[in-house]
Structure 1
């Protein structure tokens, strides 16, 4: 009888306290997964320092791990009193590694909550709460009080939460997230509520690292290093929060243990460091200098941070035939890369581990590519850090949005005679402009990025001339490809053609004297590998094959044909794509990264012939 009463009490306890009945976290099964997924646990989820371009040691706390979550109706404005279950941050709720695998959509709100025990490292007076990325709109609460709000699914942001902390170590953090995916007009990339073909599963909520950082009252906020190899100089802008009169900023450049240059100026002033006989960064020799920055007050260091930079230059210049060529460090280098979507079968937008994040870059390098086009997605800072270290050139796309919802401008284009710009609402334009500026600011320090791509294939393309010229003015140190494969305007540095499956190029006589000629996408050769596909049936490629041998034969022909175009004026080409993604099987690797469809050595040898082509 006693046992029976105990059993009844146990059941009642579980009903009254639902969280007590929760199962431990585990990844959602039913889809393929990468080799790193099995290494992920709530205690080790992406624990690396997330901001390599402005690093401080010791005074930070990683908040990745298990958070509580709840889905509510849109009118839920207050933090819910109860939460459904747990979610593994920083994996989006739709992903396998979140442990949830649920859709959200335009009619729901996703809430997060976690009680945090502050680390002993967080002793300085200011405490900042950082988010690598949250898709799309979020409100942040600390101890029940609203700290602030943010819109934008791809840019990092932070809040000073010092005045919101209560006495003691335990603090409560909550988020309210709204994400309409492609039912909204915001930048969304390839996410859709109806995944098919080249459109993929939605990503909602936190998808990059969440972390705390403690700082002094006066602290370094941003670093902006810009190399100029023609002047043997590095220009550095340092933003300092709460600087006082008389404060100085010291900046020094280092080659290992050897200081090669330094500058000391008043806070708010820009720095120019002379880098004598610079070691130039390139895919074959990706040399990185260290950078140290300090805020000094009355001879004492108030705050300091470490960073790095590279001496490299991207530019354009006419060859002997009068065709504009793309130069790296004042020399022509044919750029050959992959279209890289940056999606994972288990984490969607988020790689399972930092090792996995670096894997794609290293494999691309091993295959003999020297460039990656990051396709309408922005990666965590550590991805660009891996590109910097490994020597991989990057073309960075702006994530597209408002593709279907906007009407066409009535003004005809100069080439097609048809309307080419879309008319977007004020809210839609604002979302694009604000987020593109923040993305460019956040990514400026990474030397691997050599090109900005504001639009892709006319997807939401609007005010092309204005947006391109603004982008060029915002960052004159890089080239700007106004609309890769999109509607053409005579603006920007690049004329970009997309052609599937065979290689082609913009007509030199029409474009070559003013713009660099590139093949922004081609290839798309598909090979589904049994046991390594997202779906058992319905897989898709621009041109599909049944065996690796057939695939290699066709790919070899593509490279042979591509080689012919380089002496005629082609400066770069991008093959679709690095990996399979969901039902797309166009990848050089399977979606789970377990199979390389053509050997790295064979591809590297093939690609080497592209870099040997002479130009006129």
Structure 2
């Protein structure tokens, strides 16, 4: 279930005299078209791209949404910015308009496109006009958005389709065919990227708040009943490698109940074809896959998989593998895995913009590959779909995370539901991606009973949605000193599959040589993973190793850290240092060394490698060599 929230004018009844009935009627008209289920694998659907040039109106006071009494405007209010901006005649009053002089490119954040938008947080109205052939008889239409940061109110030809909250996950609304015109359709999206205490993420984050329609927009055409979602995965055998002829299992979900509908699953390369029968809107299955080549990091084999009904066909590229936390190890296809990771922000630093699409994904993942990584932690939110699909094809493992970040109101049921909605959207989009091995429910959340219960609920929800992957969270370093051993003892460790923690010894606590006497342990008999570690250095700034922000200091930091890792316990299964590339952050304000940049990258913002890059690269080469030697034994 994908959750959408409509602006309910009932909330404003105390501000003015309006009857309950009229408020209910208005609420119904606003929300009637909200689509309550995400369509997966959108790139395989028949669709028209609405990317390109959109006109805009900046509206920091939200004049186009509220009247002067701060009441939400009615659907037919001529001053509402979602209505056509062309005056009916020369005497008509219009105080807004959309013209080409004010235009932005979609997909893309507004911050990097116009200098005046650099720090802007507020409302921007986007407008796109498009033509459309007469709707095909028997077809249904959906507007699909890859992501809009943060809140999107969507209107077509003056009618509200719905509202979505969440800046990094996809959503779609059904479009009644009666709304579509052959000429001059008028699509308006009110985009609001303001930060609020009761949203996910909350007010305080250490990354740039890029606003806008940041990912693809499509008008999708599907049959009356269509394949909405599906899962096709290998059935794991706990603690063991897949059988010689492994068993695949999963389900197909139709958009509407159709008992008895025949659904066909094909994998042409394997000469495999099987038909199953729907029960209501669902069809579950399991079947053997002979001669299957497993997906792994060295051989990322993908198969063309076709799912079809009598009137709908969807194709996908799917890799088959198993992943699990087994005892004190992580097993990929039944074999012990060491994760040579790196954290990555969804940003192209050189152009100071949000990353989007395959070309950007290739840039970032190739930088990780040059570091000799086999894994990336996509922080701190779901990245563009192109990122995980590119990881599939390159054999890069993925940690994917929702932005439950630092401190939120863990006692709020409303915020929990918002987090669950984003978790659902993340998993629904990517649950067929072989590269994704970890769903993360948050980062550095402070320990308290309320917080642990909040996070436990998210873990339970993640397992309900997908029981084939590991569930984790990046824990804050809430450890206690026991002689010379630091014990990672966060109560959330009881519920996660992978005990992951962030540590910054030598940057936020003492100097790097503190690592020489530091050891690590956890009371949980589970794999132990370092989800962050790092320090800052401005690329090109050279000094002695004791000088903060110098490349030599960061080089020393990584030398001490990698030496410390030689003493890790036997359940140490990997590390993902913070971070691949320097990234923009308004929290980082040193006038010489930061200037609005978090400098913990191993590449600087121009793509130059810092000295610390080669220390970590060498460590990963040694770890890979040890793995190959162990395999030969």
* TM-score strictly above 0.5: yes
Corresponding position of 1:201: 208
Task: Tell me if the contact between 2:260 and 2:277 (Cα under 8 Å) persists in the aligned partners.
Answer: no
Cα distance in 1, alignment partners of residues 358 and 465 from structure 2: 31
User: Given the alignment, which residue of 398, 407, 430 partners 1:443?
Assistant: 430
* Stretches of structure 1 lacking an aligned partner (at least 5 in a row): 1-50, 193-197, 297-301, 319-323, 407-422, 531-540
TM-superposed CA distance for 1:208, in Å, is 0.8
> Does residue 139 of structure 2 align to residue 130 of structure 1?
no
Q: 2:414 aligns with which of 420, 427, 443?
A: 427
2:280 pairs with 1:271: no
1:240 match: 254
Over 3 Å counting, the alpha-carbon distance change for 1:104 and 1:603 in structure 2 is closer
Is 1:609 paired with 2:613? no
Normalising by structure 2, we get a TM-score of: 0.73
1 CA distance for matches of 2:568 and 2:109?
42
Q: Quick one: distance in 2 between partners of 1:239 and 1:99?
A: 46
Q: Within 5 A, what are the aligned runs for 1:139-218? A: 139-181=153-195, 183-188=196-201, 199-218=206-225
Alignment partner, residue 103 of structure 2: 86
Shift of 1:98: 6.0
1:332 to 322, 336, 355: 336
Secondary structure of 1:576's counterpart equals: coil
**Structure 2: how far apart are the matches of 1:523 and 1:205?**
30
Please show how residues 21-32 of structure 1 align to structure 2 within 5 Å.
none
Contact 2:303/2:318 (8 A) holds in 1:
yes
- Is 1:546 aligned to residue 550 of structure 2? yes
Report whether the alignment pairs 1:56 with 2:63. no
| CA distance in structure 2 between the partners assigned to 1:437 and 1:130 by the alignment | 16
1:391 corresponds to 2:395: yes
Q: Do residues 97 (structure 1) and 113 (structure 2) align? A: yes
* Distance verdict in 2 for CA 1:121–1:335, change over 3 Å: farther
Structure 1 residues 101 and 269: alpha-carbon distance in aligned structure 2, compared to 1, 3 A threshold: same
Quick one: which of 557, 561, 570 aligns to 1:558? Answer: 561
TM-aligned CA deviation for residue 369 of structure 1: 0.8
Q: Compared with structure 1, are the counterparts of its residues 498 and 87 closer, same or farther at alpha carbon in structure 2 (3 Å cutoff)?
A: same
Residue 529 of structure 1 is matched in structure 2 by: 540
Aligned equivalents of 1:586, 1:542: Cα separation in 2: 16
Deviations 1:363-396 (A, max 9, x none): 2122211111111121111110001110111111
Cα shift at 1:346 = 6.5
Query: How far has the Cα of 1:574 moved from its partner?
Result: 1.4
Question: How far is 1:455 from its partner?
Answer: 1.9
1:400 corresponds in structure 2 to 404
TM-score, normalised via structure 1 length = 0.75
Q: Does 1:223 align with 2:238?
A: no
Distance in 2 between residues matched to 1:254 and 1:450, nearest whole Å: 26
Tell me, yes or no, if the aligned pair for 1:122 and 1:213 is still in contact at 8 Å. Answer: no
* Rounded Cα–Cα distance in structure 2 between residues aligned with 1:263 and 1:579: 47
Q: In the TM superposition, what is the alpha-carbon distance from 1:103 to its structure 2 partner?
A: 4.3
The residue aligned with 1:341 is: 345
Distance 2:554 2:135 in 1: 54
Q: Is the contact between residue 603 and residue 613 of structure 2 (CA under 8 Å) also seen in structure 1? A: no
Instruction: Report the CA distance between 1:52 and its aligned residue.
Output: 9.2
Shift of the 67–604 alpha-carbon distance from structure 1 to 2, 3 Å rule, reads same
User: Which structure is richer in relative contact order (CA contacts within 8 A, separation 6 or more)?
Assistant: 1
Aligned to 1:472: 463
Deviates more, 1:227-236 or 1:594-603: 594-603
1:14-49 alpha-carbon deviations (Å, 9 max, x no partner): xxxxxxxxxxxxxxxxxxxxxxxxxxxxxxxxxxxx
Give the distance between the partners of 2:623 and 2:231, measured in 1 at CA: 34
Q: Give the C-alpha shift of residue 483 in structure 1.
A: 4.3
**Cα separation, 1, equivalents of 2:262 and 2:613:** 51
Change over 3 Å in CA distance of 1:184–1:497 after alignment to 2: closer
Kindly provide the CA deviation profile for residues 295-322 of structure 1, in whole angstroms up to 9, marking residues without a partner as x. Answer: 12xxxxx11010122221111233xxxx
Distance 1:559 1:486, change over 3 A: closer
Q: How far is 1:101 from its partner?
A: 2.4
Partner of 2:472: 481
Q: Does 1:250 align with 2:264?
A: yes
Q: Is the 8 A contact 2:582 2:601 kept in 1?
A: yes
What do residues 75-125 of structure 1 show as CA deviations (whole Å, max 9, x unaligned)? Answer: 53222631371111121222x1367625443xx432111111237998872
SS state at 2:315 partner:
strand
Aligned to 2:363: 359
Separation (CA, whole Å) in 1 of partners of 2:539 and 2:411: 39
Q: How does 1:498-509 map to 2 (within 5 A)?
A: 498-501=502-505, 506-508=520-522
1:499 Cα deviation from its structure 2 partner: 1.8
Distance 1:347 1:122 in 2: 42
Q: Deviations over 1:486-520 (max 9, x none)?
A: 66112222222322246766415x22x2x211222
Cα distance change of structure 1 residues 245 and 430 upon mapping to structure 2, 3 Å threshold: closer
The residue number in structure 2 matching 1:259 is 271
The 1:374–1:352 alpha-carbon spacing in structure 2 relative to 1, beyond 3 Å, is closer
The aligned counterpart of 2:578 is: 576
Q: Distance in 1 between matches of 2:388 and 2:357?
A: 15
How many residues are treated as equivalent by the alignment? 511
* Contact 1:456/1:486 (8 A) holds in 2: no
